[in-house]
A and B are shown apart, each in its own frame.
Chain A
Amino acid sequence: MNKSKYDVAIIGGGHNGLTTACYLAKAGLKVVVVEKHDYVGGAAVSRELHPGWTYSNCSYVCSLLRPEIFRDLELSKHGLQIIPYEGSASMLNDGRFYAHYQDHDLTYRSIAQFSKKDAEAYDRFGKDVMRQCKIIKPLLKMTPPDPTSFSPKDIMGLFEFAKYFAAKDELGGLGEKEIYDTIRFWTMSVRDYLEEYFESEIVKVHLAGSAIIGTALGPYSPGSAYVLLHHYMGEVDGTVGAWGYARGGMGSITKAMASSFKSKNGEIKSGSPVTKILIKNNKSYGLVLENGDEIYADKIVSNLDVKRTFLKVVEEKELPNDFYKAVKNFKIRGSSGKLNIALDDLPIWKSIPEGDPAGTGDLHITQNIEEMEGAYDDWKDGKWSQFPYVDMCIPSINDPTMAPQGKHYMSVFIQYVPYNLADGGWTEEKRLEFGKHVMGRIGNYSTNFNDIINHAEIRTPKELEAEVGLTEGNIFQGELTMDQLMFNRPVPGYAQYKTPIKNLYMCGSSTHPGGGVMGAPGANAAREILKDLNKKISTHYI
């Protein structure tokens, strides 16, 4: 049995674990990342699962990654580049398409084909969402204060939150009205929100997509508007809400992070599933690996979701009852699937002409909000959606590294797919049938799609859970609803990256500010750990 000793051991080499690792290594600590797979990245990976093609087989587009982290970890030097989207589109059953472009005037005209009022309202909507993004942006970086604590730090923290809402300058003096708007936004349904701006169904459904991705909420569910915001608060080079492709796939992000970490003398132990966190006297002191090896460290950080951390690798008896209960009740429902498709040619769409920038970003086929809600109803019934919402894109149009010359890679994110099927659970046949169903739906909008499919990887929440380790396949490591955000994420009283076990921390997407390839949970956790160790570093983020 091997035994080794570190300052910090991080369980899981997802992008958040790696972000924490990088900041701690930057501070001169001896850090090890222990990853179950023989590659790092978690849900941000690039994998060659079909010879010649690179799949971003979980996450597929980038926006949320905080630019300060990009800078601090020198990700450019370590190989990362983001390519901005050129447009996006929804294809209609009547042969038309609805599109957004980089060019504002062109977008106006595109929307005006459906409604002049909506074309104008799009600016109003954009402004209001942008204002909400501005409000939330600084919150991402904050460690949520504990509202029940009377420690000076938490009282100061709450004060910061409050001060922030009343801030004069950066937000231009948020008035009472803006605070009402914010609270409404965080709690209402996306359908109700969009209804306040738009009249045309295609406009509404195109925009509503961002609000249901990855959640077990439908467009009519209260709280879904927040999810839209969660997907808008990122940026590409200062353009808030913009998305882009990571050149070489999403794995380029985590590869660059790993390289940055190693350059600071960090150590990565891959192919090493952790089976247990060693705890004595309510204090963690080490890890046990599947092969029996043990790793000792002063601080242990878990990148796994809160359920996996406390229901799988920590023994129940070590936990306070209430905490254990809260973790068990943490909502982490799987609702998404993913297809990664190797194409022999570029799909020819019935509506979008070849070369149109709208065809190079995210593409959708849902016709209206009712259809979207219907897709959600199927999920509640334990079935995959008959008319699924898809968020598909062909990164290889803009990224020359993803597929052989002349061939293409298509990523299809699917909402909704249940973790458990009502009619007796997932089988291999059902998985294939599900994939076929989705490809059939997409095929309706193309004249050649069915003939150019060379290979497809079909992933249901079961595969996402088994491979990535996301409980139930929930892409955010836990639902993004108000009861599970900010000082309630993941568990009230434990929103500060700490746990009931001394020296054990959390840094994954289960913590504030939540899921997506953002890096904020990882960087915030690093800041808290460094504080506890009385170490200071000076970076853009921390």
Chain B
Amino acid sequence: MNKEKISYKKPLLETPFHKRTSEHCYANDWYRWAGYKVAKEYSSTELEYTSMRNTAGVIDITPMHKYEIKGKDAKKFINKLITKNITNIQSNQVAYGIWCNEDGMVIDDGTIFCLNENHYRIFCAERNLNWFCDTATGFNVTIEDISSSIAALAFQGPLSCKILNLLKVENIENLKPFHFDNYKLENQNVTISRTGFSGDLGYEIWCDPSQAIDVWDSLFKFNRDYKVLAAGMNSLEMVRIEAGFIQPNADFMSAEQALRPNRMRNPYELGLGWLVNLDKEYFTGKQALIRHKEKGPEKKLVGLDVEGDKPAVGSVLYDNSKKNIAKEIGIVTAAMWSPVLKSNIAIGFVNKEYYKLGSNVYAEIYHPEELDYRKIWAECKVVKKQFFNNPRRNAIPAFI
């Protein structure tokens, strides 16, 4: 796809699903993702979101960056790159990991697919080719950006397995969370992983771009019985907040991209300490991470249960119920009204004194109301980021 001659008249690439996504995108509302055009909203964000919580939604995630890691030292390389230990990873297993710079500041997170001992794929949100190549120095590995050679769909929702089963994807219900395998989907050879951003049962389907349209169409085949919707980025944002997944350059600045050094965040500040294995041999950022851990985070990304029903988008957080004496102690990075939880939820940074679960903080919410702003001083309770985590997500066999 990148070989296509570029023209200033067409600055954005189209994914292999574009023929279909553009048919479904009645709103004609597009979002830029890694130089691709993907739908922000197809027709109604609310309904697209509902499909992922009620039946299943299909999201074009082709723009995700994909790197192929091959070679004798592939595993060693990944162990140097990421903060957790993948020594025991098996073929067909997926690991979730983060990588940091030398100062222990998080660059990005991603999923690592083990095809075999010497062959891995890393899927992530940001471009990492330079960072990976820098890290690869001295290892017997090759690193290739294969982003445009794989088409990908997220198929998320309680009926996702049922529909794949109806499509005769053999034994799909027994695929374990964080595993993947090769399957036949309506005569197409595809790779399916039990991964996703929704906090519910869901899959990601990986295929050759030439199969993209057939794969897309098959997922809608049982639409008369079980209504599947194409879901846009807006609805994806909703489910990922509910599931408590954080996003670089939304909830924190990637250390590779932050202009101001004090905007970078370490894993402990992001609540990702569980992904750091300090017992592992040398890996990038280890020394700094030991110090960060010892010192403990100055601020931390937490979940917030916000009073009322007005989303605390972009709110500054304060320490006191009395506005006139309140001091700033944090900031909201993502916020929404959760239809499934019927709660007003948010993710945000709070200072040291407030990140204990159950702490109270206050958000100043500017709520637009008929050309005026209503200023709301809302009490928030510090809670776990993972607001929504349905048992279906990890059940084996999956619900069919």
Contact B263 A172 (CB under 8 A): yes
Q: Is B324 positioned at the interface, with any CB of A under 8 Å from its CB? A: no
Contact B8 A357 (CB under 8 A): yes
Q: Is B189 positioned at the interface, with any CB of A under 8 Å from its CB? A: no
* Residues in B whose Cβ lies below 8 Å from that of A112: 2
Query: Which of A109, A123, A172, A178 is in CB contact (< 8 Å) with B35?
Result: A109
Contact A109 B8 (CB under 8 A): no
Query: Which of A103, A117, A171, A178 is in CB contact (< 8 Å) with B129?
Result: A117
Contacting A at CB under 8 A, from B166-209, are none
Query: Which of B2, B35, B145, B257 is in CB contact (< 8 Å) with A105?
Result: B35
Query: Which of A101, A116, A134, A178 is in CB contact (< 8 Å) with B8?
Result: A101
Main secondary structure of the interface of B (DSSP, over half): loop
In the docked arrangement, what's the CA distance between A367 and B13, Å? 28
Query: Which of B2, B11, B261, B263 is in CB contact (< 8 Å) with A178?
Result: B261
Nearest CB of B to A56, in Å = 26
Contact A124 B256 (CB under 8 A): yes
Contacting A at CB under 8 A, from B116-149, are 127, 129-130, 133, 145
Q: Is B32 positioned at the interface, with any CB of A under 8 Å from its CB? A: yes
In the docked arrangement, what's the CA distance between A175 and B264, Å? 12
In the docked arrangement, what's the CA distance between A139 and B139, Å? 44
Query: Which of B8, B35, B259 is in CB contact (< 8 Å) with A108?
Result: B35
Chain A 103-132, CB-CB to B under 8 Å as 1, else 0, gives 101101110110011001101100100110
Chain B 1-27, CB-CB to A under 8 Å as 1, else 0, gives 010001010011100000000000000
With contacts A109-B2, A109-B6 known, is A116 near B257, CB below 8 A? no
Nearest CB of A to B63, in Å = 11
In the docked arrangement, what's the CA distance between A108 and B148, Å? 14
* Residues in B whose Cβ lies below 8 Å from that of A106: 6, 8, 11
Contact B259 A120 (CB under 8 A): no
In the docked arrangement, what's the CA distance between A356 and B6, Å? 11
Query: Which of A116, A123, A177, A358 is in CB contact (< 8 Å) with B145?
Result: A116
Nearest CB of B to A125, in Å = 10
Whose C-beta in chain B lies nearest to the C-beta of A356? B8
Whose C-beta in chain A lies nearest to the C-beta of B11? A106
In the docked arrangement, what's the CA distance between A79 and B259, Å? 35
Query: Which of A110, A121, A172, A357 is in CB contact (< 8 Å) with B260?
Result: A172
In the docked arrangement, what's the CA distance between A130 and B258, Å? 11
Main secondary structure of the interface of A (DSSP, over half): helix
In the docked arrangement, what's the CA distance between A168 and B261, Å? 10
In the docked arrangement, what's the CA distance between A117 and B2, Å? 14
In the docked arrangement, what's the CA distance between A110 and B133, Å? 21
With contacts A105-B11, A112-B2, A358-B8 known, is A173 near B35, CB below 8 A? no
Nearest CB of B to A536, in Å = 33
Q: Is B88 positioned at the interface, with any CB of A under 8 Å from its CB? A: no
Query: Which of B6, B130, B145, B259 is in CB contact (< 8 Å) with A110?
Result: B6
In the docked arrangement, what's the CA distance between A469 and B11, Å? 46
* Residues in B whose Cβ lies below 8 Å from that of A105: 11-12, 32, 35
Chain A: how many interface residues by the 8 Å CB criterion?
31
Nearest CB of A to B213, in Å = 24
Q: Is A452 positioned at the interface, with any CB of B under 8 Å from its CB? A: no
In the docked arrangement, what's the CA distance between A130 and B260, Å? 10
Q: Is A174 positioned at the interface, with any CB of B under 8 Å from its CB? A: yes
* Residues in B whose Cβ lies below 8 Å from that of A358: 8
Query: Which of A110, A123, A168 is in CB contact (< 8 Å) with B257?
Result: A123
In the docked arrangement, what's the CA distance between A173 and B129, Å? 28
Contacting A at CB under 8 A, from B348-379, are none
* Residues in A whose Cβ lies below 8 Å from that of B2: 109, 112, 116
Chain B 257-276, CB-CB to A under 8 Å as 1, else 0, gives 11111110000000000000
Contact A120 B127 (CB under 8 A): yes
Contact A168 B262 (CB under 8 A): yes
Chain A 171-192, CB-CB to B under 8 Å as 1, else 0, gives 1111101100000000000000
In the docked arrangement, what's the CA distance between A174 and B261, Å? 7
Contact A127 B127 (CB under 8 A): no
In the docked arrangement, what's the CA distance between A282 and B145, Å? 70
In the docked arrangement, what's the CA distance between A116 and B259, Å? 22
In the docked arrangement, what's the CA distance between A356 and B261, Å? 37
Contacting B at CB under 8 A, from A86-109, are 87, 101, 103, 105-106, 108-109
* Residues in B whose Cβ lies below 8 Å from that of A101: 8, 11
Nearest CB of A to B33, in Å = 10
In the docked arrangement, what's the CA distance between A106 and B4, Å? 13
In the docked arrangement, what's the CA distance between A25 and B308, Å? 58
* Residues in A whose Cβ lies below 8 Å from that of B35: 105, 108-109
Nearest CB of A to B32, in Å = 6
Whose C-beta in chain A lies nearest to the C-beta of B32? A105
Query: Which of B6, B12, B32, B260 is in CB contact (< 8 Å) with A173?
Result: B260
Contact A172 B145 (CB under 8 A): no
With contacts A109-B2, A173-B262 known, is A120 near B257, CB below 8 A? no
In the docked arrangement, what's the CA distance between A46 and B129, Å? 47
With contacts A127-B257, A173-B260 known, is A116 near B6, CB below 8 A? no
* Residues in B whose Cβ lies below 8 Å from that of A123: 127, 257
With contacts A123-B257, A172-B259, A172-B261 known, is A117 near B6, CB below 8 A? no
Whose C-beta in chain A lies nearest to the C-beta of B263? A172
* Residues in A whose Cβ lies below 8 Å from that of B262: 168, 172-173
* Residues in A whose Cβ lies below 8 Å from that of B6: 106, 109-110, 113
With contacts A105-B12, A173-B261, A356-B8 known, is A120 near B129, CB below 8 A? yes
Contact A103 B11 (CB under 8 A): yes
Nearest CB of A to B235, in Å = 23
* Residues in A whose Cβ lies below 8 Å from that of B32: 105
Nearest CB of A to B133, in Å = 7
In the docked arrangement, what's the CA distance between A178 and B12, Å? 35
In the docked arrangement, what's the CA distance between A178 and B264, Å? 14
Nearest CB of A to B122, in Å = 15
Nearest CB of B to A535, in Å = 37
In the docked arrangement, what's the CA distance between A108 and B35, Å? 8
* Residues in B whose Cβ lies below 8 Å from that of A113: 6
Contact A121 B8 (CB under 8 A): no
Whose C-beta in chain B lies nearest to the C-beta of A118? B130
* Residues in B whose Cβ lies below 8 Å from that of A168: 262
* Residues in A whose Cβ lies below 8 Å from that of B263: 172
Nearest CB of A to B119, in Å = 21
With contacts A101-B11, A106-B8, A109-B2 known, is A117 near B260, CB below 8 A? no
* Residues in A whose Cβ lies below 8 Å from that of B258: 127, 172
In the docked arrangement, what's the CA distance between A537 and B379, Å? 46
Nearest CB of B to A515, in Å = 27
In the docked arrangement, what's the CA distance between A101 and B8, Å? 8
Nearest CB of B to A349, in Å = 14
Whose C-beta in chain A lies nearest to the C-beta of B5? A113
With contacts A105-B35, A178-B261 known, is A116 near B11, CB below 8 A? no
Contacting B at CB under 8 A, from A171-224, are 171-175, 177-178
In the docked arrangement, what's the CA distance between A145 and B59, Å? 59
Contact A124 B259 (CB under 8 A): no
Nearest CB of B to A251, in Å = 31
Contact B130 A130 (CB under 8 A): no
In the docked arrangement, what's the CA distance between A106 and B262, Å? 30
In the docked arrangement, what's the CA distance between A85 and B11, Å? 17
* Residues in B whose Cβ lies below 8 Å from that of A110: 6
Interface residues of chain A, those whose CB is within 8 Å of chain B, are 87, 101, 103, 105-106, 108-110, 112-113, 116-117, 120-121, 123-124, 127, 130-131, 134, 168, 171-175, 177-178, 356-358
A-B contact pairs, 26 of them (CB 8 A): A87-B8, A101-B8, A103-B11, A105-B12, A105-B32, A106-B8, A106-B11, A109-B6, A109-B13, A117-B129, A117-B133, A120-B127, A121-B130, A123-B257, A124-B256, A127-B256, A127-B258, A127-B259, A130-B259, A131-B260, A134-B259, A168-B262, A171-B261, A172-B259, A172-B260, A358-B8
9 interchain residue pairs of minimum CB distance: A172-B260, A106-B11, A105-B35, A173-B262, A172-B262, A103-B11, A120-B127, A109-B6, A172-B261
- What would 4 more interface pairs be, CB under 8 Å, given A131-B259, A178-B261? A106-B8, A109-B11, A124-B256, A172-B260
